Structure 1
Amino acid sequence: MNTQNAEFLKKTLLNLGFGEKLNDELDKKMDGKLPEFQLTTQNEYNGKQVDYKLHFKAGDNNDMYFFNKYDASVKPENSEALKQTFYINKGNGVTAKEAFNLMEGRAVHKQLYSQEGEKYHAWIKLDKENLTEGGNMKIRSWNDNYGFKPEEVLVGKGIKEMTTDQGRDNLLRSLKKGNAQQITVERDGKENKYFISANPQFKTIDLYDHQMKKIKREELLKPENSNSKTQKQSTQQKEELPGKKHNKKRSQSV
């Protein structure tokens, strides 16, 4: 067994979110000198199990193995199982958790490679309505030049996590991984909990309640000072009532 090759593959598995639980089985398969083999594993996210099948293929001399792709399968409630193949490029690709998020219908921000091998960043999302000949969901993408910046959407909306550098960085990092991230919104002295996810296509965010049911995002996306402005205008109107003006004039004449 090529020890250096094995260590690289184990590091790749770790970086892609498969942990170290497959290491012993990987060693056994590589010792077998098979032209190709598969490893299976499961992860659970938000109470949902995701099944993975990882594909490894030997090089020309059977001295090195390459981790080229993995299949992911998740069964939503009251629906048929979703299946998708994710490809690995030199140890890089969609992580196990990102695969789940994509199959849940959310977008992920990833480093990709052009046909010329140049790196670029883009938001990607699975298109469940359009499939390839092999049955894979096609991938839609919006690169950074498209102009979607979630931090600009979220600033000034009364989101508690956006008030500190660490909180803001953690929130944005989570959104880029495709998570539905919980936030705390402060309005009128009350704290309300929501979940949000990135929506790059429309350059906005999607809003969910505590049961992950999508709700209207207008309430969150209006400026946080809109309520205070309304209250200020109401106060000014009260001060301008005829009775108030009369009292003001009478006090000045004393």
Structure 2
Amino acid sequence: MIINRADTEMMLSYIEEMVFYGYYYVAFNADKITEINKIKFFRYPLDAKDYCLAKANDAEYAQHVPIEEIISDLKAVLKSELDNSKNETIKVTGFSKRERDGKEFLENNLNANKMNEKNLEYLKDQLKYTGFGETFDAELRENIMKGDKDFKIMHTGIMNNGVPNKDTLTVELNFKKSEQTDMYFFNSYHVNLQKEENKPGMEQTFYINKDSASITMKEAYNLMEGRSVNKDLKNKEGESYNCWLKINFKESDSQGNFKLNQYHQNYGYDLEASLAKHSIKELNTPQYKEDLLNSLKKGNLQSATFVVGGAESKMYVEANPQFKTVNVYDANFQRINHRESKEEKKVESQKESVSKDHKQSSDSDEGDSGKKDNKVKKRKSPSL
């Protein structure tokens, strides 16, 4: 094969790419300068041989060789002193006779490509099922090919969950290479929740679980909003269990991450029973009921149709496993079922700013248990 020396690197890159797609033999005109678009690629040797035989009657003479020989030769050209010569063209075929090295290179290259593609598909699935979509193919491929010990990908999303204000989530996806293999794994993602411009955001890191369901991006947002999420997890012994998760904004670990409180099955929270205490229209239709339950288990603030005195009105509900109830909000997202205890009010104050009157009413609850019970009864609102 005769090529222009200036095309060596570009031709090598193109031929290596064709190996990736499963082509292992090439045919070319042996007597003329060969350009990329004039090289014929074949998967099997007989196909390459038949092509050259068909050209036997032409004035041009076609030659076929295993593609690893061309790769080895082109690499040898790039490393040789001939690159510095004044000759514009060079005959590549037969330049290097290291067939064994060429075969080893081909096998290693093919194995590496297969593993990289497998790794890419694995990471794409991880991101997809954690709620980050399918838009990171190019970035994942590029970082895998670099071969660094770890890498990060940034992602920004707008969340509103049906409420008027829109929150910005800036997410840093963390990937790390295995110490035993060249496989990369999606280990965690760090979230910055920005509720207002020019103000510090709330931050939390969520880890990807290998043996149980990981927290999705939407669930992470709901947790950071102070709501609860239902998950199936596994303990250290590998036994599965179901629980509700809720961020404890009062405590953080050594790395600044808020702790996650868990309310297990034995805690006694029954979401369906809590909903049944309210006259919710969707509970009368099995499919709508199931959709409502599933949405609340994901931590969503979910719209529902309340029927009061024969009149329908749109309201919003969210699960509250800590106090074994559901929170209800009106169409303006104002909470209307303030039956929570003094302890619940204190927890609520950790995630949102409360009025001075609210704080004073909470403080005034200090006293003997009899007076406290009377005051709580007076503040109760009618049941929906």
Shorter-chain-normalised TM-score: which range? 0.7 to 0.9
Contact 1:157 1:221 in 2 (8 A): no
Considering fraction of residues, name the structure with more helix: 2
What is the alpha-carbon distance in structure 2 between the residues aligned to residue 32 and residue 214 of structure 1? 52
What is the alpha-carbon distance in structure 2 between the residues aligned to residue 220 and residue 144 of structure 1? 29
SS of 1:215's equivalent in the other structure is coil
Counterpart of 1:49 in structure 2 is 168
Counterpart of 1:233 in structure 2 is none
Counterpart of 1:87 in structure 2 is 207
Counterpart of 2:5 in structure 1 is none
| Counterpart check, 1:139 vs 2:260 | yes
1:212 shift after superposition:
2.1
What is the alpha-carbon distance in structure 2 between the residues aligned to residue 221 and residue 54 of structure 1? 47
Q: Deviations over 1:102-147 (max 9, x none)?
A: 0000000011121222221110001111111110000100011211
1:87-236 alignment to 2 at 5 Å?
87-90=207-210, 92-155=213-276, 157-216=278-337, 222=383
Aligned amino acid, residue 165 of structure 1? P
Change (3 A) 1:195 1:107: same
Supply the RMSD in Å over aligned alpha carbons. Answer: 1.9
Counterpart of 2:182 in structure 1 is 63
What is the alpha-carbon distance in structure 1 between the residues aligned to residue 186 and residue 381 of structure 2? 43
Runs of 4+ in structure 1 off by over 6 angstroms are none
1:149 shift after superposition:
1.2
What is the alpha-carbon distance in structure 2 between the residues aligned to residue 98 and residue 44 of structure 1? 14
SS of 1:214's equivalent in the other structure is coil
Percent identity, aligned pairs only, is 39
TM-score (norm 1): 0.82
Contact 1:157 1:220 in 2 (8 A): no
Structure 2 portions without partners, runs of 5+: 1-112, 161-165, 340-379
Aligned amino acid, residue 194 of structure 1? M
Counterpart of 1:72 in structure 2 is 191
Counterpart of 1:12 in structure 2 is 126
Change (3 A) 1:217 1:172: farther
Aligned amino acid, residue 44 of structure 1? I
Structure 1 portions without partners, runs of 5+: 225-254
Contact 2:159 2:168 in 1 (8 A): yes
TM-score (norm 2): 0.55
SS of 2:148's equivalent in the other structure is coil
What is the alpha-carbon distance in structure 1 between the residues aligned to residue 277 and residue 221 of structure 2? 31
Counterpart of 1:234 in structure 2 is none
Considering fraction of residues, name the structure with more strand: 1
